[in-house]
Structure 1
Amino acid sequence: MLLLQADAPTRPTFWGIGPVGKAAFYYLAAVAIAVFLLGSYRRVARYAEGREDPLNRLDDLPQRVVGAAGTILSNRTLRDGDLVAGLAHAFVLWGFLTLLIATTILGIDMDVYGPLTGDSFFVGDFYLSYSFVVDAMGLLFVVGLGVFLYRRYAARDGRLWGRHTSAEDDLFVWALFLLGVGGYLTEGVRILGQNFPDFETVSFVGWAVAVALDGVGVTPAAAEAAYPLVWWSHSILALAFVAALPLGKPFHMLASAANVVARDEDAGRRLPGVPADLDATNAESIDDFTWKELLDQDACTNCGRCSTACPAKAAGRPLDPRDVILDLKNYRESRDAGGEAVDIVADGGRSVIDAETMESCMSCMACMDACPVEIEHLDSFTRMNRQLVDQGDLDRNVQDAFQNVMQQGNTFGESQRTRAQWADDLDAEPTDAREESVEYLWYVGDYPSFDDRNKRVARSLARIFERADVDYGICYDDEVYDGNDVRRVGEEFLFVEQAATMVSAFEDCEFERIVCTDPHAFNTFDNEYPEVDFEAFADDPMMEVPEDNWDGAPVFHWTQVVEDLVDEGRLGLRGDELDYTVTYHDPCHLGRYNGEYEAPRDLVRATGCELAEMPRNRSDSFCCGGGGGGLWMEFDEDPKPSEERLREAVEDTAVGPAVEKFVVACPMCTTMFEDGRKTGGFEDDIEIVDVAELLIEAIEVREGGGVPAGEGDAAASPADD
């Protein structure tokens, strides 16, 4: 064989192993592959026992696979928010795939091409190129794993350690590292044992290992004698890893790829509906979860990115998104092994998830945005919230909000006749869209209609529309609560009732577009109302629903509409009216949910204000704490999410204490931050203003009838009456 190498560069695959050893290897390889296939089949069969997903997760499969391949191979989602970890994972992935492909090529040459042709392509230039690429990519593999080991054990990165961290995590990363290092050691021992063939310099890492071994006194004869032991150690570890892939954490390598293929681009912003059948269960057992939700559990890598991003966890609430997903996974595996059945979620008693944990969720989607493998946490969380509703295990304040909506049509429990009283002090009464056609049907929302602080925002926006001569109207007392947050707390049927009422109101009006004050309403009108299957509830005597499903309409948040008005010059702003230094908070439902980040910022700049960005902005924005029913609940937390966000504004922005105003674009955010301003002791440090209040102040200054720029209080400006 050495003579053959001298004629044509190549290497013997089973050098020093012998016929018996070669036969044993093939036998063990067959066993490993059989275990892998059987284990993978059992995983897939287990998913099939889950509930059918309401969405078609595999439609246009070729395009899904291509898109997923781009995401996975680029490691785009892993680089977001953590460039070092993303690059290290890319090195590991690319190296692993290269080694897998290389092994496959070698197998084809030995077991297919060779027996069929009596020849080999594993020689000459092909072999040299092959050796160089495999060594180079294998080095990336080892370097990436070295970064992982450093961050886990030396830097002790906190997000890598949690309640579900176990020896399995250690075994997984060390097994991969030893596979990479063991491959180079095997190569180095062979090169030394073959007395350094000149052409093997292309295997530069293996060559370096051989030089190092030679330098410490290992002779070629000793290397040749030791090679079978080294080769078998590496081979058995590799085959054991293949067999173990579907049996534990390594399976995430396959499950996460499948999860990216099956992802829903609208997950979170569009929750799946529930069956109209009142006998249907939500989360009474683990098999009530859909196959995609079961796949989510196996796709979780325990990386902790969702935990780090979660504002509920940061505030000390008993929610860690990672723990919830992995608790469900562990319970599923326990039940499959014959373990005791307990409630999935309950308030008190034995359960997999405690009710307080689910009540802590703000539905901000930060966990989903941070997850690199497309786990759709909110689908599983909402399923458990629906189960809590079914069981009556609800926070008392949330039950009161439900009662208010059921009895009065709004979360405040106020008479619907007073819904439009916020407009009493306007110069012109808003058009009644029930009686006249309008260009914009303005959905004002509960808080701007009934909350004194947010009424000022509604009046500011109305005056902006009037100044720009916008053809708008409102539904007056036919407007009811949109239902977005009761749905996220789990009251699906109440959401359907509210949607039915609002859709009927929409259908009774003539309009071209819907404009919303509240990003929560904007989201649910645009993404969820068109998905509600009213026809499924047509035979329910307890529900009045439209005869047909709603086809939808163009829906906008008001900042998007007013941005166009400013661009058209209809508000007369020149961009130098105000000289405040402000910062802006991205509302979850406007930003992370629906990708609108620039319209509010453009409006702030249009007033002349200097905008200092928050350290956590746009898709990394930190929730105010009001989403997912948080506005109705009371939590014992210090600091509150709103307090932490205000602290960030006055301490961590580039201009620090120079920030004068904290600008928001969501009524719920206004309420939460006004509360946090008081409880956190920020009353003398910063003001809370809505973008609409800032705009109307700038307009008043431009018209010469307002407070001079830089003086006074925007919250007490002419917009305040």
Structure 2
Amino acid sequence: MLYVIQLILFVLVFGTGVYLFGKAVWDRYRFLRLGQADPTRSGRHGERIWSFITNVILQKKVIAEPSGLGHLFIFWGFLVLVFGDLDFLVYHITGWHFPWEHMAWYLFMQEMFSLFVIAAIIVAAYRRYVIRPMRTEPSLEAGLILGFITLLVVTYFVTTGADIALHGDYPGNASPVLNGIAHAMTGGSTTGLLIVSEIGFWIHVLVLVSFMYVIPRSKHSHMMGAMANWYFRRYDSPGKLRKLDLEDESVEEFGVGQIQQFTWKQLLDGYACTECGRCHINCPATLSGKPLSPRNVILKMKDTITAEGPGMLAQMAAGAENLSTQPLFESVFSEEEIWACTTCRACEEACPVANEHVQDIIDLRRHLVLTEGKASPEVNKVFQNLERQSNEWGITRRDRAKWVGDLDVKTMAEVDGKAEYLFFVGTAASFDQRSQKIAQAFAKILLEAGVDFAILGEEEESDGDSARRLGNEFLYQEFVERNIEIFKTYGVKKIITTDPHAYNTFKNEYPDFGFEAEVIHATQFAAALIEQGKLKPSVAVNETITYHDSCYLGRYNGIYDAPRFILNAIPGVKLVEMERHRNKSMCCGAGGGGMFKEETGTRINVMRAEQAIKTGASIIGTACPYCMTMMNDGTKAHGKEEEIQTYDVIELLAMSIGA
């Protein structure tokens, strides 16, 4: 009779836990379905499965940082303990063991992983509640989860030890901890051991059920959300923005102003977020005191869809065609935090669960600009200048080719489109006096190597990147149409540019509008010319150089080696790296239209310049005209412009070939 009561009680308690877990998961699945469709997340199943294996099962991205090792132990320990827990529960209800519980290798592995889990939890608790680094918050929820896991392991050891002592079936060396616990309990009364076993078992069950309740309702929803997120990760260019259909007359609002206007995948990011803070401590806006945290953007999305979801489902059940929710800029986001983003993708690079923060922020900007008509005076000025003169500075477009001077550089019109390469100069190198020297240096390199190229001259338009990243998709698409028409007029098939922003949008985003060409950044092209022997750096540049990775060249397009190859090919150059370099490089602050916006807090370029100064270098090398300006201004802010100068890698190469 006692057995029947125990069985019924177990079924009721455990069944309640399963029900509550299942209901929460189902509710959140229904919430995700309230989001917009995203057709880019289908297909490529083989790659998606491999991504799941490497990043979920093997935790590749998690262990990219040393602190991730603790999570690896907890994750794998959890997987191993699931099998042990299954046997633990079945044995206490039926008295029957699964076959693996008699295998010495499994007993040893289970015990070792249990100890690893305990050790990892101690380290995690120490970091979160004693060291308290910037990226973590000592929340009650996190402590509760760590406590639950600890209790599961401890009650397993104590209860199983009591059972072994009762029956005398000692595991021996295969399970030294359990063996020791069981021997310590040997000699106790049968009644006492039974009481320890039952209390331990029911504490274990109650903790397990509590765990099942908490997981989908807390940050530990990432245990499921991250699995789906890695499977549905993007496989096109990581920084490519989604195209808006501006010709759809049924669309009354553009961008995202209500939570259901995000796609289901964007909403999934919230349930995948581990709240680890890696994005938070890598965001230049956060680090410089701006009111933006990429982690908080994702968590606000999650909290909003969780709060608004039941009401939206009720509206749907009542037959509502248009769901009514709170405007995001009245209740969730501030305009200041959304404008603070530099779109550098440091957050996405650091994220261990493949969250995509930048598209969220751009969608919110699109709503402000295209739907509400809101932007700061300086941003509106940029839009006006682009509309009138096709450049952010508003300088007359007739001056676009003045940088050429007496160089023998032809326009596409002069050669009737017969040039092999179009050198797309870009706005900064066309109009900014300092950046014009980059265009001149690259033109000299091309002439020295005998490359067949031409420019567009006064016909060149803005590539549109600034407009798009500032949320003005309408203006961006106008430039796309104009550029594509010009490119097709001259039969352009190959484009080279010194501007990573133009490189990125031509290469990765223009194909969405029907134009594809071979797009090459100047550093890639110059590195290839050196390898082919068409350029031979011979003049020594006896300087210590630290190279600043452009976000749009590096994290957006994976170009890290070409600029360094060029620098290492120049005689006399000593290359030293900043602490933050390559994929972990810090943004200069110019991206996402940042070069044209007012900054609150510490200026990002000043912070980045300080990092460069600490290397002791005499020159900061760049590969982007916008980075050039920001680093120059940064060193001036420190009063170090005479001690550490800024040059584009292309300029340094031109010096070395005597151009």
Give the TM-score normalised by structure 1.
Answer: 0.84
Q: CA deviation at 1:201?
A: 4.3
Give the residue type in structure 2 aligned to 1:308. Answer: I
Q: CA deviation at 1:33?
A: 1.7
Q: How does 1:67-82 map to 2 (within 5 A)?
A: 67-80=51-64, 82=65
Contact persistence 2:77–2:113 (CA under 8 A) = yes
Distance 1:495 1:433, change over 3 A: farther
Distance 1:473 1:21, change over 3 A: same
1:579 corresponds to which residue? 542
If asked which structure has higher relative contact order (CA below 8 Å, sep 6+), I would say 2
2:630 corresponds to which residue? 672
Matched, 1:86 2:71: no
Matched, 1:518 2:494: no
Cα separation, 2, equivalents of 1:51 and 1:125 = 47
1:50 aligned counterpart, secondary structure: coil
2:569 corresponds to which residue? 606
1:145 aligned counterpart, secondary structure: helix
Cα separation, 2, equivalents of 1:143 and 1:417 = 68
Matched, 1:225 2:205: no
Distance 1:619 1:433, change over 3 A: farther
Structure 1 counterpart of 2:349, from 345, 361, 369:
369
Matched, 1:624 2:588: yes
Q: Which runs of 5+ in 1 are unaligned?
A: 1-15, 533-548, 701-718
Cα separation, 2, equivalents of 1:255 and 1:623 = 29
Matched, 1:411 2:392: yes
Give the residue type in structure 2 aligned to 1:136. Answer: M
Distance 1:262 1:433, change over 3 A: farther
Cα separation, 2, equivalents of 1:414 and 1:272 = 30
2:242 corresponds to which residue? 272
Cα separation, 2, equivalents of 1:125 and 1:248 = 33
Matched, 1:684 2:642: yes
Structure 1 counterpart of 2:375, from 370, 394, 398:
394
Q: How does 1:127-526 map to 2 (within 5 A)?
A: 127-161=103-137, 166-195=139-168, 197-211=169-183, 222-266=192-236, 268-276=238-246, 277=248, 278-336=251-309, 342-345=326-329, 350-389=330-369, 390-429=371-410, 432=413, 435-526=416-507
Cα separation, 2, equivalents of 1:634 and 1:320 = 18
Q: Which runs of 5+ in 2 are unaligned?
A: 313-323
Give the TM-score normalised by structure 2.
Answer: 0.92
2:244 aligned counterpart, secondary structure: coil
Contact persistence 2:17–2:213 (CA under 8 A) = yes
2:333 aligned counterpart, secondary structure: strand
Distance 1:469 1:123, change over 3 A: closer
Contact persistence 2:159–2:196 (CA under 8 A) = no
Cα separation, 2, equivalents of 1:607 and 1:631 = 31
1:37 corresponds to which residue? 22
Distance 1:173 1:17, change over 3 A: farther
Contact persistence 1:306–1:370 (CA under 8 A) = yes
Cα separation, 1, equivalents of 2:411 and 2:554 = 29
1:442 aligned counterpart, secondary structure: strand
1:535 corresponds to which residue? none
2:445 aligned counterpart, secondary structure: helix
Structure 1 counterpart of 2:654, from 686, 690, 696:
696
Q: How does 1:535-554 map to 2 (within 5 A)?
A: 549-550=514-515, 552-554=516-518
Give the residue type in structure 2 aligned to 1:647. Answer: E
Distance 1:617 1:212, change over 3 A: farther
Structure 2 counterpart of 1:636, from 590, 593, 600:
600
1:160 aligned counterpart, secondary structure: coil
Cα separation, 1, equivalents of 2:44 and 2:612 = 45
Contact persistence 1:605–1:611 (CA under 8 A) = yes
Distance 1:505 1:218, change over 3 A: farther
Distance 1:419 1:124, change over 3 A: closer
Cα separation, 2, equivalents of 1:660 and 1:194 = 76
Further displaced range: 409-418 or 611-620: 409-418
Q: Provide Cα deviations, 1:415-449, integer angstroms capped at 9, x if missing partner.
A: 22221111023255456477131221111000100
Cα separation, 1, equivalents of 2:406 and 2:258 = 55
Distance 1:124 1:592, change over 3 A: closer
Cα separation, 1, equivalents of 2:493 and 2:242 = 28
Contact persistence 1:193–1:223 (CA under 8 A) = yes
Contact persistence 2:164–2:170 (CA under 8 A) = no
1:441 aligned counterpart, secondary structure: strand
Q: CA deviation at 1:634?
A: 1.4
Q: CA deviation at 1:193?
A: 3.7
Cα separation, 1, equivalents of 2:503 and 2:189 = 74
Cα separation, 2, equivalents of 1:124 and 1:69 = 25
Give the residue type in structure 1 aligned to 2:652. Answer: L
Cα separation, 2, equivalents of 1:141 and 1:562 = 51
Identity score, percent:
33
1:570 aligned counterpart, secondary structure: coil
